[in-house]
Every structure is written in structure tokens, then in C-alpha cells.
Structure 1
Amino acid sequence: MKNLTIGFIGLGLIGGSIAKGLKRANKEHYIMAFARHRETLDAALADGSIDEALDGVDENLTRCDYIFLCTPVSYNEEYLTAIRPFLRKDAILTDVGSVKTNIHEAVARMGMEANFIGGHPMAGSEKSGYQYSNDHLVENAYYVITPTPLSPPDKVEELKGLALSLSALPLILDYKEHDYIVAGISHLPHLIASSLVNLVKDKDTPEQTMKLVAAGGFKDITRIASSSPVMWQQICATNRDNIQSILGDYIEALKKVRTAVADGDEQAIYDLFDTSREYRNSIPNRSAGPIKKEFALYCDIVDESGAIATIATILAAHQISIKNIGIIHNREFEEGVLKIEFYGEEASSKAVDLLTQCRYTVYHKG
């Protein structure tokens, strides 16, 4: 990949991680950045992730081959307006937002489609801020790329190359298709989890017995209700058409379930569980959905030769049996690159202690 001059507007968890990853892939990339907090820029200069700190969105951006917009989606249009005068005719502006329609529509209104290619690295965590960024955050994660009708094909290929240089998995999608897909496999499950938790809270006994005995399946399917309220408020606001559509379909499906239960329709109930089991079991382990199994840990590792084998050897040496192990490709709302499943809670807990002692960063969510 040729040496590029790359600008960043926003340098939080995602922006900082991409900047670090690009520097790791090619130290000759020249990276400049603007962030609201000067201490963020000072930290990035100090650790070598960027070469130049900007005081604002200004003429320095005319030197950029690529500009990554990594700010909250509610600020997209404001920054598009600010960036536009400094965007070279042959330069590409891309973003990292988890909803694409709003920015694509704004870009079209402003006549910037020939300079824009949408992006969505499906990696992240509950934490935010540059201090939590790392150069391997998007390794083995899907990096969705959403071109406009006017995006130059050679630039789309070049952006795919940048994603590959980060060891990510580029995936080209239409932006409307992207937003429909994430509404079903990410946004709806979060709404279901949060509403189910609130239902149990409201229907609990005065002694809170439901809360006392809640475990297993309930905790598995509601874990994602612990995600950031601010982030999910913005996601629901920006993808509301897709969410309300698929949520309506889900409500109709629940009505059918309620009717089957009320009527004692054993065949319909059996079919519900049978078809869902078949489809759930057909989902590849590498594409982790929002519902996790009970006895699992997530381990942050760098993608290098022997990394997984080393962990497997450590566990085997201590007689810990592994049920399943694999790389998480969609970890936008997960922490950890490697998912390891165990047969029981004791093995899972023992593995957490052991890998922590070996200085691995481990996330254990029950």
C-alpha cells in the first residue's frame, strides 16, 4: 500500500484505534488529527499514533488523501459542512458510524458523493475514549464499506486495502441494506433485552424474588441491556425507520406465540422452538451475535502466528477443557478478540484467573 496522508476528525476509541492500526501497518503514513480535548492529541503525539495535531477543521486537511470522520453521528452534518471546503477533488472522506443512512443522505444533499465512502468497523466496547484504543481493535472484525453511486471504484478498492492493512475483513454493502441488517441482528436484540429486563423489574414480587433467582438463560439474553443508554438512544433515533419496521414484525410474531400458548397449540409451539433451534445452530461461531453462551470468556490478543495455540496450550497444561474457540468478527458491542467457551462455570472461572495471571486482558461476562 502506498504512503498516504490521512486526517482524523475525532480520536476516541474507534478513531484512535484505526490511527494506531494504520501506523502499525505503515509507519510512513502521515497522520494528522483534530479532537475536542487537547490532552487526547498530546497523548496521540506522545505515543506516535499521529504526526500532527490540528487546532481545528482547517486548510491543513487539503493535504489529506483520506479523512476519517470519527465523531458522534449527531455531529455528522455539522462536520461535513466544515470539512467540505478543504476536501480535495481526489480525496476521500469516510466515517465509522454504525448507522449509514443519515450520513449518506447528508452527503447527497451537499453534493459530496464523489468524495465519500461510508464505513463501519464492527468492533468496539462499552468503554470510550482514546485511552482505551489499541492498534488491533478491528483485527478480524468485519469492516463494512458503503460506497455511494459516485464513489470512484479505484478508491473503494483502496479503502478495502486500508481495511485489510488493519487485518480487518472488508465487506461491501449498500448503505440501506446495511441499516436494515443491523436493525435485525443488533438493534432489535438490544431493544428486546432492555424491554425484557424492565418487564421483569416491573413484574417482580415485593421481595424481588425474580431478581434473586435470575440467572442462566435470563442473564444470557439480557446481558446487552447493560450497554450505553446514550449510544443506543442515538442509534434508535438515526435508524428508526428500519427499527420500527422490524420491531413491528417482531410484535406480530409475539402475538402469534401468545395465541399458540393460549390455544394450547402444541404443534405451533414445537415448530417455534424447532425452527429457531435449526436456524440458530446454523449461524457460524465466527459471527458472534448479541446473545452469548453462559460459560465463556473473551480475551484480547494480537493476531500473530501462534497466539491462539499459546492460549490453548496454557489451558490444556492446567487440565481445562475447551468447548469452542474462535475469533469474534462482529464485536462492535463486545470486548475481546478471542472467544473461548467452556463446559462449566468452574472451568470458565479457572481459565479467567489463569490467563489473567499470564498477563492476558480477559473479559468475563456472566
Structure 2
Amino acid sequence: MNDLVVGFIGFGLIGGSLAHALREQNPKHRLIAYYYNKNKVNSGLTKAVQDGVLDDIVFDLECLRECDLLFLCAPVLSNISYLSKLKNIVKTTCIITDVGSVKGNICKEAVALGLGSQFVGGHPMAGSEKTGYTNSSSRLLENAYYILTPTKETKEGITEILYSLIKSLGSIPVILSPSEHDDITAAISHVPHIIAACLVNMVKKADNEDKMKTLAAGGFKDITRIASSSPVMWQNICLTNTDSILHFLDNYIDSLNEVKDSLSANKEEAIFDFFQSAGEYRDSIPNTSTGLLNKVYELYLDINDETGAIATVATLLATNLISIKNIGIIHNREFEEGVLRIEFYNQNSCEAAALLLRKHNYTVYER
């Protein structure tokens, strides 16, 4: 696209990552972000200006009048409330989109306000348990599905423009209806987040002496990692995608009751089938970074318990220009192979590291 004036309302992990990607795509884009409190400016916004990612911070919504493209990146309920405030400000040619995990409510509100023709719901299926601009990066969007949900009134040309832009940023745009999107995300993201939080709270309540916390294996931390996400964001999601979430929660509860009954009745075959069916379906899921629950690029390896062992591995990777996101010893390896866990920023780095380490006679376990 030509040089654009792009506005942001809300500027955290996703907004910051979009801004990074837009800045890299075309340095001439003018990127501005709105903040509601001039006397207490968000530190992430200030840093974004210092980094050259943002051109300016504005404190009056009227300053967004010049925008050609406007991203609503606040929590879901806040995004919806901003639409009515923007109705008489944005120009008719401005494309308005959001990045929330729920699409039905905001698309309906856009139509009700007369903004349906210029609104396209958006949901980049990427993220992290970490939040804020300081954790943002254009890499977050690379090869990630980016769902677009036009309203029933959205002009076709506007959808095409946004589709092309998202694709140019390195994401994979997919067009869905708002209701289809909300059902899918309830099943593969919203309910899993609730389950993860329930598991953590269950252990917390039972862990009177912190023994469970101390002995928690890597498997427990892996399946509950998403429970560390923003509570405000997930409160908003649950309050706006309630029907779809309740539907799939009911399905999950039915499944739990079936397992409970099988255990109570000692149904050996049913228990075996339960785990076999789950394993077969999970193994059929493509091992890519484009799912909604963000992919972790990691490998494990055996190292000797000696001074400098970790430093040797880190130096080997660094000298071959392979960046490490995280590294650490696994003390409880009940369900893990390898004593050293290394996490990378992308799949290419993970694969290159595995090849390099094996060349140097390390035993590597990939997941």
C-alpha cells in the first residue's frame, strides 16, 4: 500500500508488533497512537517513540481524523466502546479494524453505528503469555494466521485492501464469518485458557506447603503456561463470547464425566480408547507456528554436570548466530527427556540448533 497514516488505540503486545511490522514494511507510514491520560503517559508508548516505531502520541481522539487505517488494540469491551466515540471523527475512507479474540459483538456494534461498511474484524492468531510493548516484535506476526471477519455491510474492496496488507506483513490472512470465528476460538483457545486456569487454581488450593509447586514437572507447566496471560483480557473475552464458550465448556464437562464414569467402573477399554483417540488426533495437528495457542520452539539435550557446560552450549550457538530466547536446567524430568531445555524465537533457529548440537555429539531431543 502507499504511505499511510495508521492509528492505534491500545498499544501493547499486538499493537506494538503490528507497528513494528508496518514500520519495517514502509518507513514512510505515519504511525500514531492515542492515549487517554496526558499527565501519565504509558511507558511503552514513550519507548515506541524513542525506538522510532511510533511517530507520535496523541491525547485527543480528534487527532485520529486523518487516519487511513485504525487498529483497535485495547481489551475487547474497550474496543467496542471506542466505536461510538469514533463514529463522528473518522473519515469515511478510513478502514477500521480490531485485534480482539471475539468478533461477533464488535461487528454487530459497527453495523449498528453505521460503521459497518468500513469495518473489518481482525484477529492475529499470535501472542504470548508476556504482555506490553516491550515484548512486541514483528516476528510475532510472521507465518501466523490472521483472521479477518467482514461485517455484512463491509465494502468488498476494503476487505481486499486489508487482506493484502496483512499478507504483506508476513501473516496468513483467512476470511471467516464472525460467528464461525467465535465458535472456533472458543473451542481451541478460550476454553483451553479456562481449563489451564482451573488446573492451576486446583493445585494452588491443594498445595498447602508448596510441595506441588516445587515438584511441578515440565508437563504441568507446559499445559498451564497460558494461564499466565492477562486477566483483564480474558475477563473481557469471557464476557463477550459467552455463548460459544458455554457450549464448548458443556462439551468438555460431558467428556470429563465420561472419563470419571469409566474410572469409577474400572472400564479398561474405555480408558485406553480415551487416551488413544486423543493421542491420534493431537498427532495429526500440523506442527507449525500458525495455531492460535502460540508455538514454543524448544529442544532438550543431555549435558554433563560440570562447570561451564551451559556456557559451552550457549557459546556454540552464539558463534553460529543462533539466538536463544531462554535456557535452563530441568530439575524434575518426570515426563521430559534431556536435562537442559533451550527455547528459540523461531522454527528455523530451533532446527539449526538441533543440527549443530548433534554435529558436536550432543544428544538432542526435539518435541
Fold in common (TM above 0.5): yes
Asked if the contact 1:189–1:290 (Cα under 8 Å) also holds between the matched residues in 2, the reply is no
Q: Hey, what does 1:48 align to over in structure 2?
A: 52
Q: Hey, what does 2:258 align to over in structure 1?
A: 256
Tell me, in whole angstroms, the C-alpha distance in 2 between the residues paired with 1:14 and 1:219.
Answer: 24
Q: Hey, what does 1:131 align to over in structure 2?
A: 134
Tell me, in whole angstroms, the C-alpha distance in 2 between the residues paired with 1:44 and 1:195.
Answer: 36
Tell me, in whole angstroms, the C-alpha distance in 2 between the residues paired with 1:13 and 1:213.
Answer: 31
Among all aligned residue pairs of Structure 1 and Structure 2, give the percentage whose two residues are the same amino acid.
45
Asked if the contact 1:101–1:179 (Cα under 8 Å) also holds between the matched residues in 2, the reply is yes
Instruction: Report the residue type matching 1:55 in the other structure.
Output: F
Secondary structure at the aligned position of 2:174 is classed as strand
Q: Hey, what does 1:161 align to over in structure 2?
A: 164
Q: Hey, what does 2:74 align to over in structure 1?
A: 71
Q: What's the CA shift for 1:297?
A: 4.3
Asked if the contact 1:145–1:172 (Cα under 8 Å) also holds between the matched residues in 2, the reply is yes
Residues 1:307 and 1:254: Cα distance change in structure 2 (over 3 Å): closer
1:107 has 2:110 as partner: yes
Instruction: Report the residue type matching 1:148 in the other structure.
Output: T
Tell me, in whole angstroms, the C-alpha distance in 2 between the residues paired with 1:61 and 1:86.
Answer: 7
- Ranges in structure 2 where 5+ consecutive residues have no aligned partner: 299-335
Q: Hey, what does 1:224 align to over in structure 2?
A: 226
Give matches, 1:1-366, under 5 Å.
1-36=1-36, 37=41, 39-58=43-62, 60-203=63-206, 210-286=212-288, 287-288=290-291, 289=293, 294=336, 297-300=342-345, 311-312=353-354, 314-324=356-366, 341=367
Q: What's the CA shift for 1:45?
A: 3.0
Asked if the contact 1:186–1:290 (Cα under 8 Å) also holds between the matched residues in 2, the reply is no
Tell me, in whole angstroms, the C-alpha distance in 2 between the residues paired with 1:3 and 1:162.
Answer: 12
Residues 1:270 and 1:121: Cα distance change in structure 2 (over 3 Å): same
Asked if the contact 2:79–2:98 (Cα under 8 Å) also holds between the matched residues in 1, the reply is no
Q: Deviations over 1:50-72 (max 9, x none)?
A: 334323110x4332221111112
Range with bigger deviation, 221-230 or 86-95? 221-230
Q: Deviations over 1:47-98 (max 9, x none)?
A: 222334323110x433222111111222123311221112222221001111
Secondary structure at the aligned position of 1:63 is classed as coil
Tell me, in whole angstroms, the C-alpha distance in 2 between the residues paired with 1:100 and 1:143.
Answer: 13
Q: What's the CA shift for 1:177?
A: 1.2
RMSD after superposition: 2.7
Q: What's the CA shift for 1:200?
A: 3.3
Tell me, in whole angstroms, the C-alpha distance in 1 between the residues paired with 2:269 and 2:115.
Answer: 55
Q: What's the CA shift for 1:271?
A: 1.6
Secondary structure at the aligned position of 2:143 is classed as coil
Residues 1:41 and 1:231: Cα distance change in structure 2 (over 3 Å): closer
Asked if the contact 1:17–1:135 (Cα under 8 Å) also holds between the matched residues in 2, the reply is yes
